[in-house]
Amino acid sequence: SQKIEQNSEALNIQEGKTATLTCNYTNYSPAYLQWYRQDPGRGPVFLLLIRENEKEKRKERLKVTFDTTLKQSLFHITASQPADSATYLCALTGSSNTGKLIFGQGTTLQVKP
Amino acid sequence: DAEITQSPRHKITETGRQVTLACHQTWNHNNMFWYRQDLGHGLRLIHYSYGVQDTNKGEVSDGYSVSRSNTEDLPLTLESAASSQTSVYFCASAPGTSVHEQYFGPGTRLTVT
């Protein structure tokens, strides 16, 4: 069955460092991969989308890579700030443009001042 | 400003009762989705709609139904609530031009006793 794995252990880093979160998937060939941010008690917020034919996407301090051979995406936050503390969700969709997202369980990031 | 709202935000109900969760968006998006979020499972798709009078089953649709009579609303009904349906429910919408970029509501926490 399709499986998406994100590190269930919280990631703790110091302010100013680069945070790197990992999303691995199996038994799936996604055409699109997205990253969402979720704060406690709130709904997810869309951050970035990357297509299967793109290797890297950037938006301000955020960078996403997508390696379809390794079946892995890396999500980087550079110059991290305490306000970046949240849970980050990886989501995949197939080649058909259905919007049917399959989500990972998320990784919690804690940035310490 | 355009937004997506859910009501109620919290609900406690008894096993066997019918429950309806409301979702209303003012983005004028054609695409709307219902997810549930549980510890250990992440977000899972329940039902979705691509427009008025269109509804489709998602990954975990058993025991749930939706109807789409206008663009703005997609109510989710639990026909006969079960304890296994205790969860946090999120509604989302997306434009037709970017169905993967979904805007989520604040969620409804439902407890079935």
Residues of B in contact with A98 (CB under 8 A): 99
Report B:36-75 residues touching A (Cβ under 8 A).
40-45, 48, 58
Nearest to A49 among B33, B43, B101 (CB): B101
A16-56: pLDDT as tens digits: 999 999 999 988 888 899 999 999 999 999 999 999 899 99
pLDDT at site A95: 67
pLDDT at site A63: 98
Nearest to A98 among B98, B99, B104 (CB): B99
Distances (CA, A) of B112 to A52, A84, B85: 41, 34, 7
pLDDT at site B75: 98
Residues 6+ apart with CB under 8 A from B99: A97, A98, A99, B31
A44 touches B at CB < 8 Å: yes
Residues 6+ apart with CB under 8 A from B45: A100, A101, A102, B33, B34, B35, B58, B59, B60
- The nearest CA of chain B is from the CA of A23 a distance in Å of 13
pLDDT at site B28: 94
A50-99: pLDDT as tens digits: 998 999 999 999 999 999 999 999 999 999 999 999 999 999 987 677 78
pLDDT at site B42: 87
Side-chain half-sphere of B19: how many Cα atoms within 13 Å?
27
B68-93: pLDDT as tens digits: 999 999 999 999 999 999 999 999 99
- A8 falls in which pLDDT band (50, 70, 90)? confident
Q: Which residue has the tokens 């969760």?
A: B21
Q: In B1-113, which ranges are E strands?
A: 4-7, 10-13, 19-25, 31-38, 42-51, 54-57, 64-66, 76-78, 87-94, 103-104, 108-112
Q: How far apart are CA A87 and CA A98, in angstroms?
A: 25
